[in-house]
Structure 1
Amino acid sequence: MLPEALIALAMSGGTAVMTAVGTEAWEGFRGRVAAWFGRGDARREGAELERLGRTAAELAAAEGGQLERVRIRQEASWQARFEAFLEDLPEDERERAGEALRELLAEHATRARAQVSAGDGGLAAGGDVRISAQEGSVAAGVIHGGVRIGHPQAPDPSQG
Structure 2
Amino acid sequence: MLFEAMTALAAAGGSAVVQAAGTDAWNGFRGRVAALFGRGDARREAAELERLDHTAQALTAAGDEAPAQRARQEGAWAARFEGLLENLDEAERDQVVGELRSLLAFVAETTGDAVVGTGKATAREGGSAVTGIKRSGEAAGGPARAANTGDAEATGAGSSAVSGIVHER
Q: How does 1:141-160 map to 2 (within 5 A)?
A: 145-146=145-146, 150=152, 154=158
Three-state SS of the structure 2 residue aligned to 1:128 is strand
Matches within 5 A, 1:12-27: 12-27=12-27
1:110 maps to amino acid: E
Q: How do residues 9-158 of structure 1 correspond to structure 2 at under 5 angstroms? A: 9-64=9-64, 66-113=65-112, 128=135, 145-146=145-146, 150=152, 154=158
Q: TM-score, normalised by structure 1?
A: 0.70
Shift of 1:110: 1.5
Higher strand proportion (structure 1 or 2)? 2
Calculate percent identity across the aligned residue pairs. 50
TM-score w.r.t. the length of structure 2 is 0.67
Amino acid at match of 1:79: A
Contact kept in structure 1, 2:23 and 2:111, CA below 8 Å: no
Instruction: Specify every segment of 5 or more residues in structure 2 that has no aligned partner in the other structure, as ranges.
Output: 114-132, 137-142, 160-169
Q: 2:59–2:66: 8 Å Cα contact kept in structure 1?
A: yes
- Deviations 1:45-76 (CA, angstroms, capped at 9, x unpaired): 11110000011111122222x12111111110
- Asked whether the 8 Å contact 2:112–2:144 carries over to 1, the reply is no
CA distance, structure 1, for counterparts of residue 158 and residue 38 of structure 2? 47
Inter-partner Cα distance in structure 1 for 2:39 and 2:104: 16
Deviation at 1:151, TM superposition (A): 5.4
Instruction: Report the CA distance between 1:3 and its aligned residue.
Output: 2.3
Q: Which has the higher helix share?
A: 1
